[in-house]
Chains A and B, each alone.
Chain A
Amino acid sequence: MKTTLTVNGEAHEVTHDPRRSLLDTLRDDLRLTGTKKGCDHGQCGACTVLLNGERVNSCLCLTAMHDGDEVTTIEGIGSPERLSALQKAFVEKDGYQCGFCTPGQIMSATAMLREISEGAPSYVSDDLEVPKLTDTEMAERMSGNLCRCSAYPLIREAIAMASEVSQ
């Protein structure tokens, strides 16, 4: 079957098996290999992308369900010459070890910072009207992105740094 996706601002028509995941479409059909396959069942977060601006695990999305949707991957938020604020902060803070989870962490954090700025509460929010980016909020909201090297302290520092820059 055929599906049209806008990926990083560019329209693509892909022909695919109806069971194909968005992750496989991105990696294998569009060769956007920055999005990683860690567990392939929605537990590790390495495949996080933005779908119409919301973060999703692309391994749990069927390509067939997203005709006409907009997808942003790690390749779409910056380049080595023009890094986004979060990408810069991860470089500055060295927020990784092996780097395999990093694209997912950055995509997830990109959406997470916007969710907070738009006032979306989490279950650890003290203030349901105006949640703030506390350390507890960050830990809770980023807990869907596993880092087996446990570079968490520096990941949290990097996100906090990017948040300050954007404010």
Chain B
Amino acid sequence: MTLRKPLPHDSARQHVTGAARYLDDIPLPANALHLAFGLSPIARGRIASLDLDAVRTAPGVVRVWTHADLPSDCDCSPSAHDEPLLSDGTLHYQGQPVFLVAATSHRAARRAALLATLETLAETPILTIEQALDADSRFESGPVIWSRGDAAGAIATAPRRVDGLLEMGGQEHFYLEGQAAAALPQDDGTLHVHSSTQHPSEIQHKVAHALHLAMHDVRVETRRMGGGFGGKESQGNALAIACAVVAQATGRPAKMRYDRDDDFIITGKRHDFRIRYKAGFDEDGHLLGIDFIHYTRCGWAQDLSLPVADRAMLHADNAYWLPNVRIESHRLKTNTQSATAYRGFGGPQGVLGIERVVDHVAHVLNLDPLVVRQRNYYAPSGSVSERTSGGAPAPCSAAPRTPGSISEAEKQVVPDPEAELTSRGGPQDAGAAPAVPAGVQTTPYGQPVEGFILHEMTERLAERAEYHARRARIAEWNAANPVLKRGIALSPVKFGISFTLTHLNQAGALVHVYHDGSILMNHGGTEMGQGLFQKVAQVAAHGFGVPLDAVRITATDTAKVPNTSATAASSGSDLNGAAVANACAAIRARMAAHLASVHGVEPDAVRFADGRVIAGKTTMSFAEAAALCYQARISLSAAGYYATPEISWDRMRGHGRPFYYFAHGAAVTEVVLDTLTGENRILRTDILHDCGASLNPALDVGQIEGGYVQGAGWLTTEELVWDDHGRLRTHAPSTYKIPACSDRPDVFNVSLWDGENHVPTVGRSKAVGEPPFMLGISAFLALSDALAACGDAYPSLDAPATPERLLAAFGSLRGTGG
């Protein structure tokens, strides 16, 4: 058995010896060219003149491209065809690529790029939410609105009410390996592209489109990434296209990697959000009506902003039953980097919104926030009466739209071959409404909440972490200590698993068994440190009953498995694991049928286990079985395929079953805050997380710990600052603070919930990449709890809760009592 074992990452020995090759480590032919972009110095305006003579004559420079020199627009967008590789004359953000330099070395290209004389006609940039709203600068024709019941009426008639505003910053991915790509021209005009990307099929499509090639002319390969976190879902397109343009034009290999500062300045980040909320509730804290308005700055291009903002709306409920709810979402177009996918994909922003509301409600009622959380949790399946189940399809509405908006694009029946079919920014057809079993509550978007286990998980976590006793001790401690204040919070997550663009929920795999019994495996997923390759190899080894070292893992390659989806939405193991399992099952069935006929047994009676194959009274090694099948002319190669069942989503109505299932988790965090300096530390964190029946507990615990720390980083130390001219001032780790070894909680207890997925996934496991990120919210709420000990008012803390912001919040609380 190789499933459910805590096996290490697939490249362990290569990682510790420095032998693991990342893109920048791949040896290239000596004549390879190195590329750099010249960047826009202003956030908004036009190019008045561009003199590149000094660039062209700089040492080592081979050729320079402007927009006019390109073979096409070389569009880099994963959605709306609104991102020409190089500026077409309009400047949309400070850092936008304007021209491209190819030189004989990386340094020569970068130095030359600084020699251009670029004169601009600057315009006043749209940077803030207010500026964007004033200018009606947005994607789609108006806000998207989804609702159920009568939120306004329920709030108006509720016994108690709160309203408030929460600002939350974006987040730089800071994958430790920066963006990089290389293109090698082949002798027949085709291209072999290496890309540090989560989405090889998208790179393939964008490169082919830019160069007027067919997809079969472009082969994209990705062995591993030094971190992705969503930042390599669409943001690698520009580098790969640039390399391809240069390789095609010059016939020489071309490589591009961004310097770290350029990476910050050019590429998109997590969407920052402002959430305005109003809630009505009863004296026990039950939420009766709730109204959210989400404002998000999407940056200059559409990229994946629409599905990100959708997912924020889809997680506006987190784990709570909201009988009357209205969510309004504004996707604002600003002269900043185009915000993009980042672990959670809008989900964390939506979850933080409702967690703030619950926390605020508890403060107003002077109740333990955990009690209010538990009172509002979705009911366990089958435990509710029809009256409160919301069983009937919920009435949903969307804002009126003008022709030509996304709604028109989505109505098309025949897909446009130019469209971004494999991207989350692609077009979507309306899906059917889900059936709702009796006695099951539904989300605001009509999905039945089945397999909801947060009641039990919360109870167990609170007990293990001694939540109630510690909360009481902290209150005593705070009463006795005037300067240092402690805080504690428990926050849950319920995260929807599946791409909301339904057709992306498919995967392919290619499995070969050689006649010596060794197995080669390929699938559409990419490895970025999450351990996907190892998990999927475990599935393959399990499928043939062989040890793990019989399975060779190979680089993701569009020539082996076509039309893949991004390794994103936490779906990697679910989709690719199932596709590999199906391929293995097909080969195994052929082998079993042959061996059964030879040995006079039923095919079902042929067993594959412990590296051996047993057919009746005959036992042979797997290698012998493979050789026998080969000699009998049995095919030992299979393509596997998987499509997630049961999902369906009508984005415009905001209704359906976008998710196959939900993953759950909960965390308790305790912090201490110095009210004189704002300095703070996480003292202890306890996590209980639901991975179903984990395929690999060691890898899953790593994802949970890493996700939590990264989530806490988002909400505490990681602050992006743009100045009034739209220049990003935090463009390196010297000014942008990600968690270090010393920022890890002093005590960190992580355990897995002992259960299995209620729907049939690979080994009944659950996806784990994104859900634990939202457990970091408990650190933010704990800081808010520490602040709440400093006055009578609700702290209304914004994120990131930097020491500066904590001090300011403390300053405004002081004098409110306490």
Chain A contacts to B: CB under 8 angstroms: 17, 27, 31-41, 43-44, 46, 73-75, 78-80, 83, 86-87, 90-91, 94, 96-103, 106, 135, 138-140, 142-156
Contact = CB atoms under 8 A, between A and B. Distances in A.
B216 interface: no
Given A91-B8, A94-B8, A101 B19 contact: no
Given A98-B176, A146-B740, A39 B733 contact: yes
Given A39-B260, A80-B13, A97-B706, A147 B18 contact: no
Contacts of B698: 94
B16 A40 contact: no
The majority secondary structure among interface residues of chain A is: loop
A142 B178 CA distance: 22
B175 interface: yes
Interface residues of B, number: 58
B226 interface: yes
A27 B713 CA distance: 31
Contacts of B173: 148
B748 A98 contact: no
Contacts of B18: 32-35, 73-75, 102-103
A46 B176 contact: yes
Contacts of B742: 139-140, 142-143
B260 A40 contact: yes
Contacts of A96: 9, 15-16, 529
Given A86-B16, A94-B698, 5 more contacts: A91-B8, A100-B177, A103-B18, A148-B175, A152-B709
B226 A33 contact: no
13 contacts: A96-B9, A97-B702, A98-B224, A99-B20, A135-B746, A138-B741, A139-B741, A142-B742, A144-B740, A148-B175, A148-B710, A149-B227, A151-B706
Given A44-B733, A97-B530, A149-B529, A91 B16 contact: yes
Given A91-B13, A139-B741, A147-B741, A99 B260 contact: no
Given A44-B733, A91-B12, A98-B177, A33 B21 contact: yes
Contacts of A98: 175-177, 224-228, 528-529
Contacts of A83: 13, 16-17
- 10 shortest interchain CB distances as A-B pairs: A34-B18, A98-B529, A100-B226, A97-B529, A99-B15, A74-B18, A150-B709, A43-B733, A33-B25, A139-B742
Contacts of A138: 741
A43 B732 contact: yes
Interface of B: 8-9, 11-22, 24-25, 27, 107, 173-178, 224-229, 259-260, 528-531, 698-699, 702-703, 705-710, 713, 732-734, 738-742, 744, 746, 748
A101 B739 CA distance: 14
A144 to B, nearest CB: 8
Contact of B705 (A37, A144, A150): A150
Contacts of A150: 705-710, 713, 739, 744
B734 A43 contact: yes
A100 B176 contact: yes
A62 to B, nearest CB: 14
A148 B740 CA distance: 8
Contacts of B174: 148
A13 B703 CA distance: 44
Nearest to B705: A153
A89 to B, nearest CB: 9
B24 A33 contact: yes
